[in-house]
Amino acid sequence: MLELGDEVDLQLNFKAISLKDVIETEKIQGVREIMFATCSLLIRYDPFEIDVRGLIGRLKALEARGIDYLDRSIPSRLIHVPILFNDRWTIECSKAHGLPPDMESVAEYNGLSIEEFISVYVSTDYWVKYLGFCPGEISFNALDPAKELRAAQLKVPRTWTPQGAIGIYRSGNCIYPAVIPGGVKLIGRTPLLVFDIHQRNPAFKESPALFRAGDRLRVVPIDEKEYLAIEKNIDSYPYKIEEGVYSGKELKGSA
C-alpha cells in the first residue's frame, strides 16, 4: 500500500491516477496489478519475481525523479447525468427499512432547505476519484470545494438500495450500479445505467463500466416524466459524453 495522504484531496487523487500510469509505464518485473482509491495505491506483486525491498527501491527511484504529477494532463470525459431528486423509489426504500426519507435530514445537515440543497448540488461539476465496492460504482466529489455537501452515514446499513440511487456521505458521493446493500444517505436517482455487463448501449462499447477514474460528471436535474422516458429507452438513449483532457493544476486541493 502506497499512501499519498490522509484526506479527501482531489490533487492527491490526481497524483494517484497519474502515478499508476507512470508505474505501469516502468514495466517493473513482478508487478501484477495496481489499484487506487482517493489518495493511495495498492500494488499487487509476485514475491517470486521481486521482493518488497526491491519494489520499494524502484518506487523511491521514481520519487527521486521529482516528477510534477500535477503538471500532467490525463483523459477526462465530461458525462452528463440526469438525476431525479427526492424521487419516490429512494423514499420507498427508506420506508421499507423503517427509516424517514433522507433528503430532508441531508439538507438540514448542510444547513439548507431541500430546494437550496438541490440548487447547490447542481451548480458544480464533479470529479470521479475511483471505481470500487461494486462493479461500476463510482466515488465522486465536487470540483468546487466550496460547494461540497456532506451527510452522516446510516448506523445500520440498508439490506438493499435501488439501482441508480445517488448516495452522499462524509467524504463524497456515489451511484449505486445495481440493487445492493448500502449505508449512505440517498438524495435521488438516475435512470442511466452506470454498469452494463451486456454492453447494449453504444456508451458501453469499450467497457461494461460507464465511468473511468478522472472523468467528470455534470448533474442534469429532471422530473419523473423525463426519468421514465429515459428508462424506457435506455438501450438506445444517447448518453451525452464529451471527450477531453484535464490537468492536475486545474484541481483545487482539498475537497
**Domains of the chain, each with CATH number or no CATH:** 2-71 (3.30.1360.40), 75-250 (2.40.100.10)
114-143 pLDDT tens trace = 999 999 999 999 999 999 889 999 999 999
What are the pLDDT digits (tens) for 40-59? 999 999 999 999 999 999 99
Residue 66 has pLDDT above 90, yes or no: no
Q: Which H/E stretch holds residue 79?
A: strand 78-85
Which residues touch 216 (CB under 8 Å, ≥6 apart)? 76, 77, 78, 79, 125, 126, 127, 128, 143, 246
Q: What percent of the chain has pLDDT over 70?
A: 99
The answer to whether the beta carbons of residues 221 and 85 sit under 8 Å apart is: yes
- In the chain, DSSP finds a helix count (H) and a strand count (E) of 6, 15
Q: Which of 2-16, 191-205, 208-222 has the lowest mean pLDDT?
A: 2-16
**pLDDT for 8 beyond 90:** no
pLDDT at 163: 98
pLDDT digits (tens, 9 = 90+) for 12-43: 999 999 999 999 999 999 999 999 889 999 99
Residue 253 confidence (pLDDT): 62
Find out whether 217 and 125 touch, Cβ atoms under 8 Å.
yes
